[in-house]
């Protein structure tokens, strides 16, 4: 296929699965005629028809509810929410029905649906279009929450999400939609859910991040190589459930842990990672765990946006601090 962007990889994965599985349908606001606000679904309606790529009303609770109904009756809906700020009306349907239906029916009915949405800041959008709200969905039993951080991982993880027998919330880092390109083979091969990806090996400190913050985390790790600091960089990828075994194995080797995410500090997924390491790997640690995150405040508009989000310098500062202890 050659080098493509993350948004192209999303489109490719949906097209592959629709081509090979007639039960896969796509729905959402402007996903058909217009190809989606970010063009993730461009060309799908022309290729697969209006019965499988459906434009919906501007009603996010309806989109989620219809998807749950479709999934319970044998379809595999992939629903798009235009912006992360519009995803909150879906929470009623997702927590009360999507995540519970398998348990409620004692396994007779599953909900193989994917709820896609852009996520995160860095694009100078209004604050309710720039939030990182993965913790909402990570806290819902019965639902997976996945965040890709590269075109190749977006392609493979979305394929896995569509094929999963249970609901998956798939949050796509908006800042990374067209940030860079990567060679992706359009071969239909899925990547494993519920697994971390080790992007860089190192012996001195473990860095755990996900989504768009992987970019800054890898950059900080590379810059510190010049000072002889070896950082092991782990992409969490599936933020619920957390692959704690991979993280613990790394922390046992390095003895230090820095967690990076752009969502607010309090009650975030990073807090859960820290708690799990403290619970299961406390005696591996040579220094306190450090977290580099957004602030416990509403994402500020435009000029202050980058001051809110973790920077390379903030990450490097946390790494140096944990190495001092």
Active-site residues, by number, are: 129
Identify which of 198, 195, 262 has the alpha carbon closest to the alpha carbon of residue 230: 198
CA distances from 81 to 29, 52, 128, 132, 171 (A): 7, 17, 13, 14, 10
- Asked if 206 and 232 touch (Cβ cutoff 8 Å), the reply is yes
* SS3 category, 40: coil
DSSP calls for 228-289: T--EEEEE--EEES--HHHHHHHHHHHS-EEEEEEEESTTSHHHHHHHHHHHHHGGG-SS--
Report how far residue 310's alpha carbon sits from residue 129's, in angstroms, rounded to the nearest whole number: 18
Report how far residue 27's alpha carbon sits from residue 273's, in angstroms, rounded to the nearest whole number: 33
Which residues, 6+ apart, have CB-to-CB distance to 67 below 8 Å? 27, 77, 79, 98, 113, 115
Supply 110's token pair.
């599953």
Work out the angle at residue 133's Cα, subtended by the Cα atoms of residues 211 and 191, and round it to the nearest 5 degrees.
Answer: 40
* SS3 category, 172: strand
* Cβ neighbours of 174 (radius 10 Å): 25
Report how far residue 210's alpha carbon sits from residue 38's, in angstroms, rounded to the nearest whole number: 21
């Amino acid at each position: 296929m050659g080098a493509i962007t993350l948004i192209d990889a999303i489109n490719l994965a949906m097209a592959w699965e629709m081509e090979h599985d007639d039960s896969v349908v796509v729905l959402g606001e402007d996903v058909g005629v217009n190809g989606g606000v970010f063009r993730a679904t461009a060309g799908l309606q022309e290729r697969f028809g209006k019965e499988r790529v459906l434009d919906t009303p501007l009603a996010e609770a309806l989109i989620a509810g219809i998807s749950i109904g479709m999934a319970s009756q044998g379809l595999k809906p992939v629903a798009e929410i235009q912006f992360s700020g519009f995803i909150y009306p879906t929470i009623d349907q997702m927590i009360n029905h999507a995540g519970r239906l398998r348990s409620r029916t004692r396994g007779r009915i599953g909900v193989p649906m994917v709820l896609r949405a852009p996520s995160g800041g860095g694009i100078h959008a209004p604050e309710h279009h720039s939030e990182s709200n993965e913790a909402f969905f990570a806290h819902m039993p019965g639902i997976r929450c996945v965040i890709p951080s590269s075109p190749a991982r977006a392609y493979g993880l979305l394929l896995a999400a569509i094929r999963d027998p249970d609901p998956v919330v798939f949050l796509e880092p908006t800042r990374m939609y067209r940030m860079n390109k990567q060679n992706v083979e359009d071969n239909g091969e899925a990547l494993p859910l519920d697994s971390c990806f080790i992007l860089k090996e190192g012996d001195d400190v473990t860095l755990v991040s996900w989504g768009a913050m992987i970019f800054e985390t890898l950059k900080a790790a590379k810059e510190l190589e010049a000072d002889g600091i070896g950082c092991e960089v782990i992409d969490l990828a599936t933020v619920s459930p957390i692959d704690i075994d991979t993280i613990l194995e790394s922390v046992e080797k390095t003895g230090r842990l820095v967690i990076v995410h752009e969502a607010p500090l309090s009650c975030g997924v990073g807090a859960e990672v820290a708690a799990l390491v403290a619970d299961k790997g406390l005696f591996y640690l040579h220094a306190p765990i450090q977290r580099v995150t957004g602030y416990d405040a509403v994402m500020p508009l435009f000029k202050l946006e980058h001051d809110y989000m973790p920077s390379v310098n903030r990450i490097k500062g946390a790494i140096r601090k944990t190495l001092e202890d």
